[in-house]
Amino acid sequence: DPKQQICIGCGVTVQTENPEMIGYAPVSALEKETIICQRCYRLKHYNEIQDVNLTDDDFLKILNGIGQTDALIVMVVDIFDFNGSWLPGIHRFAGNNKVVLVGNKVDLLPKSVKHNKLIHWMKQEARELGLRPEEIFLVSAGKGWMMKETAAAIDKLRNGKDVYVVGCTNVGKSTFINRIIKEVTGEGDVITTSHFPGTTLDMIRIPLDDGKALIDTPGIINHHQMAHYVDKRDLKLITPKKEIKPKVYQLNEGQTLFFGGLARFDYIGGDEKRSFVCYLANELTIHRTKTEKAVELYENHLGELLAPPRPEQVESFPELVKQEYVIREAKTDIVFSGLGWVTVNEPGVKVAAYVPKGVETVLRKSLI
C-alpha cells in the first residue's frame, strides 16, 4: 500500500515492525477505518503513557524545540543512576525556561537515607552539571511516594504554562506521568482524539484544566549505560526492584571484587585492611578473589561463575576497561553507571574500576 498510514491520534506515520519505536501499531490496526498507533491507543483506552524511543538526532530536535517555547520543564532522573540518567546539555536546551528536577526511584535507597540531605546533594551535583533547578523533588513514582505533593508543586510552578516532561529511557518517566495523570484527572478519560492537533509527531499532550498541557516527550537512550550490554532478562537482575541492602567488604591490598561478570573493583593500595560498601542490586552476585588471579578467573569463568553476561553472550561482550582512582576525600562513591556504586569511607586508597568498554565510571561525593 503506497498510501501513508497516519495515526489519527498523534499524526505519526504508522509502522508495524518495531514495537519499541515510535508509530508502532499491530498489523490488525491497519485494517480499521481510522488508524491509531499503539501509544495513542493505550493512552485513549487505559489513560496510560507508554514509552517510545527515538534516535539521538530526533531527540535533539525535540529538545531544541522545547527551548524555544515558553514552558516549565520537568526532568526526571533515576536516583539510583543519577549521572547515567542525566540528560546531557539540559541546561542549554532549556533556554530561559525553568527546570524542575525529579529524582525518581527513591524507594531503592536504604531507608536510613535522609531525604533532605539527598536533595541537597542533588542540588550540588546539578550545579556541577551546569543546571540550577527551580526545585528538586525526590519521589517514588512506582510506589506513589511524594507524588501528590510533586504534582501540586508542578502545577503551581508552571504558572499557567505548558509542562514538558523529559528524561532518558528507563528513569520511570512513564510511571511518573501516569501517576500525575491520576492526580490531575482522577480515573476519567484523559484524552479524546480531538485533543490531538495531529501535528506533534513524538509528543503526547495531556490536557490540563486551563487549556495548557502536560507533554510527554520520548525517552532518549543513553549509550553509556550498562543496560546496553546485558540481555533483557538480565536487565531485571541488575535493575534493583527493592530497597538496596548495602554489602560491606573488608578488603586487603591486592584483592578484587567482581560484580557478576559486568564490572570489577580492585583495591590496589593503601596501607591496611579497608572496608568498601557496595550498593548494587541485591540479586547481583559479588565474587571476591586475589587481584593476581583476577584475569585468569575472568577468562575462564565469564558467563558461568561470573554472570551476567550469559554464556551465549560472552563472545560478543565488550572487554572490561580499567580506570584507576586515587581517593583523596573521605566518603567518596565510585559509580559504575547503571549498576550501582562502591563507597570508600576513608581517604588515601588507590583503587581500580573496570566496566565494559563504552560504559562510564565516575567519582562523586558520597550520596549516602
Rounded to the nearest 10 degrees, what angle do helices 173-185 and 147-157 cross at?
80
Whole-angstrom distance, CA of residue 339 vs CA of residue 226: 7
DSSP state of 199: -
Question: Which residues are at the interface with ligand GDP (CB under 6 A)?
Answer: 51, 104-105, 107-108, 140-143, 167, 169-175, 219, 241
SS3 249: strand
Q: Is 351 exposed, middle or buried (0-12, 13-18, 19+ CB in 10 A)?
A: buried
d(CA 101, CA 119): 10
Would strands 263-269 and 349-356 be described as parallel, antiparallel, or unpaired? antiparallel
Nearer to ligand GDP, 47 or 170 (CB): 170
Which residue, 143 or 245, is less far from ligand GDP as judged by CB? Answer: 143
Q: Is 292 helix (H, G, I), strand (E, B) or coil?
A: helix
- In whole angstroms, how close is the CB of 52 to ligand GDP at the nearest point? 9
Q: Give min distance, CB of 243 to ligand GDP, in A.
A: 9
CB of 105 to ligand GDP, least distance (A): 4
| Shortest CB 283 distance to ligand GDP, Å | 13
Closest approach, Cβ 241 to ligand GDP, in A, equals 6
Q: Output 51 or 155, the one with its CB closest to ligand GDP.
A: 51
Nearer to ligand GDP, 80 or 267 (CB): 80
Residue with Cβ nearer ligand GDP (217 or 332)? 217
The long-range contacts involving 296-304, CB below 8 angstroms and separated by at least 24 positions, are 297/258, 298/258, 298/261, 298/264, 301/261, 302/261, 303/261
Ramachandran angles phi, psi of 227, nearest 5°: -50, -25
Q: What are the grid coordinates assigned to 86, written together?
A: 542525566
**Smaller CB distance to ligand GDP: residue 219 or 356?**
219
What are the angstrom distances between the C-alpha of 339 and each of 34, 63, 71, 342? 44, 27, 34, 10
With respect to ligand GDP, which residue has the nearer C-beta, 174 or 337?
Answer: 174
Minimal distance, residue 174 CB to ligand GDP, in Å: 3
| Nearest distance, CB of residue 169 and ligand GDP, angstroms | 4
